[in-house]
Structure 1
Amino acid sequence: MHTIQLKISEKVYDKFIWLLSKFNKDEVEIVSESADFNGTKDYLQQELNEIESGKANFISQQEFEDRLNEIA
C-alpha cells in the first residue's frame, strides 16, 4: 500500500472525504497527521536548535547506562 500526502482546499474537502469513504479499509485508509507527530517534530526541532547553538549538554555512554541503572 502507498501513502501520499495531499493539501486539499476547504471548498472540496468534504467532497474528497466523501469519495474516499466509498472505498473499504483494505483499499483506502485515511491517515491524518496527528498532534503527536507535530509535537514530536517541534520537540526535535528545538533539540536540534540547541545542539547547533552549542547549548546542548552531552553525556557519555557510561553515564547514560548509570542513569538507567538508577531508574531500574
Structure 2
Amino acid sequence: MRTITLQIDDSVSDKFLWLLDRFSKDEIKILDQSDYVSDDEYLRGIEGMVQSINSARTEPIEQGVTLDKLDW
C-alpha cells in the first residue's frame, strides 16, 4: 500500500473528498485531515522553539556538531 500526502486548495477540497468517498474503505483510507501550516508557522507554534533557535544563533560555530556525529 502507498501513502500520499497532498495539499488541496479549499476551492476543490469538497469535490476531492467526494471522489475519495466513492472508493471502498479497503481501497482508500483517509488517515489524517488538517489545515495547511507552513514550516515557519508550525515551528513557531512549538513552545520554546523560537527562544531555542535564537539561543543557538549566539553559539560559536566551533561548538557545532557535524551530521555524522549526531545520534539519530
The normalised TM-score by structure 2 is: 0.47
Higher relative contact order (CA 8 A, sep 6+): 2
Pair member with larger Rg:
1
The normalised TM-score by structure 1 is: 0.47
